[in-house]
Amino acid sequence: MAWLGQPVLIEELLFNTEHGIVDQSLHARMGAEPTNGDGFGLGWYGSGSGPAVYRSVAPAWADANLRELAAHIESPLFLAHIRAAIGSPVQQTNCHPFRHGRWLFVHNGFIADLHLLRRELMLAVDPALFAAVEGSTDTEVVFHLALTLGLEDDPVDALEKTVGLIEAAADRRGIAGAVQATFGVSDGTSLWAVRYATEGRARSLFASAEVESVRRLHPDNPRFQRLGADDRLIVSEPFSDLPGVWREIPESSAVTVRTGGVLEERPFRPRIPSTPADRPELAPAT
């Protein structure tokens, strides 16, 4: 889940909401996995330089420190992620969000048969970034590919190229359904979210509706009345079943949330990046 808006105590959204993300760590209703107990992470923008990242291998529901931090840190922009490990070890360096400079990155989903693709994908990572990959998740590889392909200039474009590159590599090996993903990205000012699957249905993704209409629909809800015009939430799973509060982000699309509560939507179309002139070794074998 991700928040962009007025500064709030993080616990407001992590703990003090029905079906919040910490609840979901124990009892997800829509996720592929009902239990997401293999660590979690929280990245936020606020005091100090660049984003902070707190990552833990404890289940989110059981981490005393997470409660403390959430209850005592205010932030206008943060991302939280709960993990259900699919094969890779439960360790802090495998917990999201991943960070590069002022950028944060989270991912729900997977790269199919990563062990068959890992070497080729790591070769496509900018050599200067190669040693920055500290863990063993698919997500960290995806993030460093996207950084290689221009994430800092245009996040959605870079992710389209990244997914295209992965799908091409998977195709060459006969791996089906290469990418299943919702991605979340931020630079501390804006927030980008992508929903996409190579095959079949992509994991769920929702954005909170315009504050004005949420307030009008639920005039008696004090929490909603406190929301400002600039506040937006992006979540994998709605916190509540209240009508009109959430809008589903369509499959194969990307949204950008900008300061001021602006929400822009566009299609997400993976494509194979052109091989850079100085790295011919990356050209797909013909």
Q: Which residues here bind a copy of itself, judged by CB under 8 A?
A: 9, 11, 26-27, 35, 37-38, 44, 46-49, 52-59, 62, 64-65, 68-69, 71-74, 85, 88-93, 114-116, 118-119, 122-123, 127, 130-131, 133-136, 281
- Residue 133 or 168: the one with the smaller Cβ distance to a copy of itself is 133
* Structure tokens belonging to residue 63: 């981490």
Q: How far is the CB of 35 from a copy of itself (least distance, A)?
A: 5
Radius of gyration of the chain (CA): 18
Q: How far is the CB of 99 from a copy of itself (least distance, A)?
A: 10
Using a CB cutoff of 8 Å and minimum separation of 24, what contacts does 132-135 make? 132/100, 134/93, 135/88, 135/91, 135/93, 135/94
3-state secondary structure of 192: strand
Q: How far is the CB of 40 from a copy of itself (least distance, A)?
A: 12
Q: How far is the CB of 208 from a copy of itself (least distance, A)?
A: 23
- Residue 114 or 145: the one with the smaller Cβ distance to a copy of itself is 114
Q: How far is the CB of 1 from a copy of itself (least distance, A)?
A: 19
Q: CA-CA distance, 142 to 121, in Å (whole number)?
A: 8
Q: How far is the CB of 71 from a copy of itself (least distance, A)?
A: 5
Residue with tokens 């606020």: 46
- Residue 52 or 151: the one with the smaller Cβ distance to a copy of itself is 52
* Structure tokens belonging to residue 182: 């919702």
- Which residues neighbour 49 within 8 Å (Cβ) at sequence distance 6 or greater? none
Q: How far is the CB of 18 from a copy of itself (least distance, A)?
A: 19
CB contact at 8 A, 110 and 139: no
Q: How far is the CB of 284 from a copy of itself (least distance, A)?
A: 16
- Which residues neighbour 68 within 8 Å (Cβ) at sequence distance 6 or greater? none
CB contact at 8 A, 169 and 117: yes
Q: What is the three-state SS of 221-237?
A: CHHHHHCCCCCEEEECC
Q: CA-CA distance, 94 to 218, in Å (whole number)?
A: 40
- Residue 140 or 160: the one with the smaller Cβ distance to a copy of itself is 140
CB contact at 8 A, 232 and 255: no
- Residue 63 or 167: the one with the smaller Cβ distance to a copy of itself is 63
- Residue 38 or 160: the one with the smaller Cβ distance to a copy of itself is 38
Q: CA-CA distance, 230 to 46, in Å (whole number)?
A: 17
3-state secondary structure of 61: helix
- Residue 86 or 217: the one with the smaller Cβ distance to a copy of itself is 86
- Residue 65 or 213: the one with the smaller Cβ distance to a copy of itself is 65
